[in-house]
Each structure stands twice: as structure tokens, then as C-alpha cells.
Amino acid sequence: MRTLVEVTEALAAIGGYRRLNLVDRACETGAYLAEKLQELKSKHPSIGDVRGLGLFHAVEPVRNRQTWQPFNTMRDKVAGTPLPVDAVAGEMSTKGVSVQAWLSHFVIAPPLIISRREIDQGVRALDESLHMADRQAEG
């Protein structure tokens, strides 16, 4: 059972979302982010898929776009094999952009208050860093 404090905090958060129009804003800026990420997909052979909703997206790098062959498997991760997603994420961090690198994809989930300028900065960092994966991609 929820305490009165938890319910009060939840209602305050919902009120803030409404006051700042964050849900509509996330839809608008999320569409902008999706467009920018789709542009990267057409530019980089290492991007197999881009998917998301609102400001929550995933970019899936692949070794081969036709076969959807991933760069690495869970076995590679356990064995300590260097993962291209980790290298790309590391390079992005040197550009001041943080991205969550998983075994087979990047999770892009910026705060709801992100600006288009900040989205452009993040997408530019991903664009500039994907060369590391592009060199290993087939086709």
C-alpha cells in the first residue's frame, strides 16, 4: 500500500509534467530525434535499425544489414571480447555525450526537457563516432 507521502509526491510530479507540458514536448522533440536518427541510418552501414517512441529510442548496430548479423553475441561479452558499441559509446563520451551501450544496441533516452540544440549535439556525436563500427560493417 502506498503511503500518503508517496501519493503526494506522485501527484506533484504529475502536476509538474502538466505545468511544463512535458508529455506533448516529449512527443514533439521525440519526433525530431527519430528523424535525426533515421538520417543517420541512411548514412551509416553499421546501423541496422532505429526504433523508439517519444524520447526513448534504440539504435541497433549490425555487422551486416542484409542478414542482421550482430557485431557481438552474449558469449563475446562474457569472454571479454571488445564490443564496438562500447568503443562508440566511449568516443561519444569524449565529446561530452553519454549514451547507454548494450550488447546489441544503444539506448538513447534524454531528459524530457532536452532542447533541439542538445539533440543535435548528441546525434552529431553519434554520427562522428559511428565510423568505428562502419569500418567493421559488411556492405
Q: Taking CA 126 as the corner, what is the angle to CA 121 and CA 131, rounded to the nearest 5 degrees?
A: 135
Task: Report the pLDDT value the prediction gives residue 53, as an integer from 0 to 100.
Answer: 94
Average pLDDT estimate for 66-78: 85
C-beta of residue 32 within 8 angstroms of C-beta of residue 116: yes
Task: Report the pLDDT value the prediction gives residue 125, as an integer from 0 to 100.
Answer: 97
Task: Report the pLDDT value the prediction gives residue 14, as an integer from 0 to 100.
Answer: 87
Per-residue pLDDT at 128 exceeds 90:
yes
pLDDT, one tens digit per residue, over 82-103 is 888 999 999 999 999 999 998 8
Nearest in space to 31 (alpha carbons), one of 57, 49, 5: 57
Domains of the chain: 29-134 (3.90.1150.10)
**Maximum Cα interatomic distance, the chain, rounded to a whole number of Å:** 58
C-beta of residue 70 within 8 angstroms of C-beta of residue 63: yes
Per-residue pLDDT at 22 exceeds 70:
yes
pLDDT, one tens digit per residue, over 25-53 is 999 999 999 999 999 999 999 999 999 99
Q: Locate cell 552529431: which residue? A: 124
Task: Report the pLDDT value the prediction gives residue 136, as an integer from 0 to 100.
Answer: 85
Do strands 56-61 and 100-101 pair parallel, antiparallel, or not at all (unpaired)? unpaired
Separation CA 49–CA 29 (nearest Å): 20
Q: 58 forms bridges with which residues in the sheet?
A: 51, 107
